[in-house]
Amino acid sequence: MSQLDYRLAQIDMTTTRTNSATAGYPIGVVARLTGIRPTTLRIWERRYGLVRPSRTEGKNRLYSEDDLRRLTLVKTLVDAGHQISLLAPLSAEQLRHRLESTTARLVEPGKGDTPPVRVTAVGGSMPERLKATSQIASAQGVEFTASFSSEQALLDDAATSESDVLLLEYATVHHDTLAKVQSLLTATGASRAVVVYGIAASQALQDLGSAGVICLRAPVPIADLVSTCRNVSRPGPPALATIETYPSEQVPPRRFSPEQLVRISTRAPAIACECPHHLVDLINSMAAFETYSRECENKNPQDAQIHAFLSVTAGRSRAMLEAALQRVAEFEGIDIS
């Protein structure tokens, strides 16, 4: 039995246990387990006959364990680039064979030279969704090393759960979610976090984003999760906690007064491109943004850090433009004293 068959068998066992107490899966549960939107499920059923779910007395769809397994295979192949119209007529065995072939083609020569990104998944349906796609993820350089049904389960096993990225699923995101994510990162030693959420407060999402946490609204295709986890672990710009590396005293002071800039901008240029006029406009705009960023209302420490960084960056850019204007003024013979 291949690893893929083993993973699908695990899903079969899970769905069988669940179906022993119910007649099938409603469309909302299937959408959450597979990452396929309900509207897409209906289109695939109506247009391609991909599955034929049964109906309740109220005409609501109920999907069997075989439907769920088939949809998981098809969704994985679609995420890998296959066309749904070509997949729909295939049997479950043909779909598995195509997925095995796709996985083999995705493995690049020399891939073993680069360590895979180790991902730990926590919460909701995420662990079950990832089981059927571990081979695809591995071929893309991502290894799902562990999965936990809850944060507490992760914390209980944190000592043995080595990972680079935490993949966290939350039904709702509130103001306290950032603190939870930060505590999980500290406990596990992971460097980055990706949050998949259902409903969220806009300010909570802003706080998470400011702290470097990637937020994705569910449902998210497995291919997108894999690529996000892979990319988020790559070296990037400095984290917000260390972003203010240039204290304000290192920003050069204004080289020209507003009156000097007016005199420069009103002089007739000797060169046709009117560079002095354009440079004066840019300097005034950059100086205004520098002041705006410095005075901007800061609602939290992350806001203060990013606006301080913007103010310093604008100030240094303004200084570079002023140096350029100095040279142009000398070339033009403009008296700026």
Per-residue confidence in pLDDT tens, the chain, 337 aa: 344 444 454 445 444 444 434 458 899 888 877 778 888 899 999 999 999 999 988 889 999 988 988 998 888 888 777 889 889 999 888 888 887 776 655 544 444 456 788 888 887 666 666 665 665 566 567 777 777 888 888 888 755 557 888 888 888 898 889 988 988 888 888 888 889 888 888 888 888 887 888 888 877 777 677 777 877 765 443 333 333 334 444 677 888 888 888 877 776 555 455 777 788 888 888 888 888 887 775 555 556 677 777 888 888 888 888 888 888 777 767 766 6
pLDDT at 104: 56
The phi, psi pair for 237, rounded to 5°, reads: -65, 160
- Statement: the pTM of the whole predicted model exceeds 0.75: no
Give the contacts of 308 (CB within 8 A, at least 6 positions apart). 244, 248, 293, 294
Nearest Cα to 314, choosing from 300, 332, 294, 299?
294
**In whole angstroms, what is the distance from residue 147 CA to residue 154 CA?**
8
Which structure tokens are listed for 271?
């060169």
Nearest Cα to 325, choosing from 283, 286, 284, 290?
283
**92-126 as b/e, with b when 16 or more CB fall inside 10 Å?**
eeebbebbeebbeebeeeeeeeeebbbbbbbbbbb
pLDDT at 53: 92
CB 196 within 8 A of CB 220: yes
H-run or E-run covering 330: helix 301-332
DSSP β-ladder status, 61-63 and 54-55: antiparallel
**In whole angstroms, what is the distance from residue 37 CA to residue 30 CA?**
9
CB 219 within 8 A of CB 36: yes
pLDDT at 41: 92
H-run or E-run covering 215: strand 214-217
Give the contacts of 218 (CB within 8 A, at least 6 positions apart). 32, 169, 196, 197, 198
pLDDT at 298: 58
Give the chain's domains with CATH numbers.
1-89 (1.10.1660.10), 114-236 (3.40.50.2300), 248-332 (no CATH)
Nearest-5° Cα angle at 87, 84 to 89: 120
pLDDT at 49: 92
pLDDT at 114: 65
pLDDT at 54: 92
Q: How many CB atoms are closer than 10 A to CB 137?
A: 25
Q: Which residue has the tokens 């072939």?
A: 101
